[in-house]
């Protein structure tokens, strides 16, 4: 009888060792966390946040190459659902990305790309709007939550027009009125001026935000598709946005190269 009890104890221990355990630093599921509130009663999303992934290089799974770190994709289902004709343009973009990528010209990267650029962002909340300040190019977005609709279009803006609402603990942002000049990443993934983005920001722990963006563009894709990733709170005691002015660096580079387009245009 004693031998049976010992064997049973070892068996339970073995099962415990084999049972899966949560990954270290794993973000809790959305909705499982009760976030603090602002004085207006909204879920408090404020702070300095940053991604820790390689989506800025490629939203899909990709291997490493010179200057490009390997990374897992952030597209739900794994593949961006291009129309065949649009996929041909995507391949052309990636083959010529050194000159075609709008980021290489220091243009505003658009939405959602600016969220997962390798630079921090800061969220500030007020009663009638949520402001997002980005280190990259010192860009600023105002997400109005006062119920006012989008302005009449068509309007071609680099960052679109953002209108927000609260669904439980999630900030839902509807973004339209884009131009067709931004990409989603450095891998040539692109859109047309018909782009429609719906973002979702959900605080899932004191130090994590779940970011989701559903992308719809009937001119380029066969159906809507979604990206998903965590944003991490910067832990430095003095965390703040610093200066990143890409245009100044680009001008310096071109100044040191007399054969560049900088001189050709002058």
Classify residue 111: in a domain, yes or no. yes
Q: Is residue 3 over pLDDT 90?
A: no
User: pLDDT tens, 13-53?
Assistant: 343 334 443 443 344 555 589 999 999 999 999 999 999 99
Q: Measuring CA to CA, how many Å separate 237 from each of 31, 233, 234?
A: 28, 11, 9
Q: Measuring CA to CA, how many Å separate 196 from each of 73, 112, 234?
A: 21, 10, 30
Cα–Cα distance for residue pair 238/68, rounded to 1 Å:
30
Classify residue 99: in a domain, yes or no. yes
Classify residue 7: in a domain, yes or no. no
Look at the chain and report how many structural domains it folds into: 1
Q: What is the mean pLDDT of residues 99-106?
A: 94
pLDDT of residue 30: 53
171, β-bridge pairs: 166, 201
Cα–Cα distance for residue pair 116/232, rounded to 1 Å:
11
Residue 257 pLDDT grade (very low, low, confident, very high; cuts 50, 70, 90): low
Closest CA to 46 of 166, 238, 206, 163: 206
243 close to 134: Cβ distance less than 8 angstroms: no
User: pLDDT tens, 217-248?
Assistant: 999 999 999 999 999 999 999 999 999 988 76
Classify residue 40: in a domain, yes or no. no
As a whole number of Å, the CA-based R_g of the chain is 22
pLDDT of residue 15: 36
pLDDT of residue 250: 64
Cα–Cα distance for residue pair 200/171, rounded to 1 Å:
6
174, β-bridge pairs: 163, 198
Cα–Cα distance for residue pair 36/50, rounded to 1 Å:
20
Classify residue 233: in a domain, yes or no. yes
Q: Is residue 12 over pLDDT 50?
A: no
pLDDT of residue 210: 98
Q: Is residue 93 over pLDDT 90?
A: yes
- How does the average pLDDT of the chain come out, rounded? 87
The SS3 call for residue 213 is: strand
pLDDT of residue 222: 98
Which domain does 226 fall in, by range? 47-238
Classify residue 105: in a domain, yes or no. yes
Classify residue 177: in a domain, yes or no. yes
Q: Taking the model in full, what pTM does it have?
A: 0.84
Residue 259 pLDDT grade (very low, low, confident, very high; cuts 50, 70, 90): low
Q: Is residue 107 over pLDDT 80?
A: yes
Tokens of 251: 């001008």
The SS3 call for residue 100 is: helix
């Amino acid at each position: 009888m004693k031998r049976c009890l010992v064997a049973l104890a070892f068996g339970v221990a073995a099962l415990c060792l084999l049972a899966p355990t949560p990954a270290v630093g794993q973000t809790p599921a959305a909705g499982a966390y009760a976030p603090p509130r602002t004085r207006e009663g909204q879920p408090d999303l404020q702070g300095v946040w940053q991604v820790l992934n390689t989506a800025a290089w490629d939203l899909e799974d990709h291997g490493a190459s010179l200057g490009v770190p390997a990374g897992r994709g952030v597209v739900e289902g794994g593949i961006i659902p291009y129309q065949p004709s649009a996929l041909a343009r995507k391949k052309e973009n990636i083959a010529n990305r050194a000159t075609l990528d709008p980021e290489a010209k220091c243009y505003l990267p658009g939405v959602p790309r600016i969220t997962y650029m390798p630079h921090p962002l800061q969220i500030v909340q007020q009663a009638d709007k949520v402001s997002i300040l980005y280190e990259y190019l010192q860009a600023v977005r105002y997400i109005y939550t006062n119920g006012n609709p989008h302005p009449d279009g068509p309007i071609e803006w680099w960052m679109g027009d953002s209108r927000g609402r609260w669904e439980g603990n999630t900030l839902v942002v509807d973004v339209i009125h884009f131009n067709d000049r931004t990409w989603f990443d450095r891998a040539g993934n692109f859109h047309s001026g018909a782009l429609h983005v719906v973002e979702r920001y959900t605080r899932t722990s004191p130090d994590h935000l779940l970011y989701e963006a559903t992308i719809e563009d009937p001119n380029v894709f066969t159906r809507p598709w979604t990206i998903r990733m965590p944003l991490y709170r910067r832990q430095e005691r003095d965390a703040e946005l610093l200066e990143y002015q890409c245009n100044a660096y680009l001008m310096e580079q071109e100044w040191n190269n007399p054969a560049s387009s900088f001189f050709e245009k002058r």
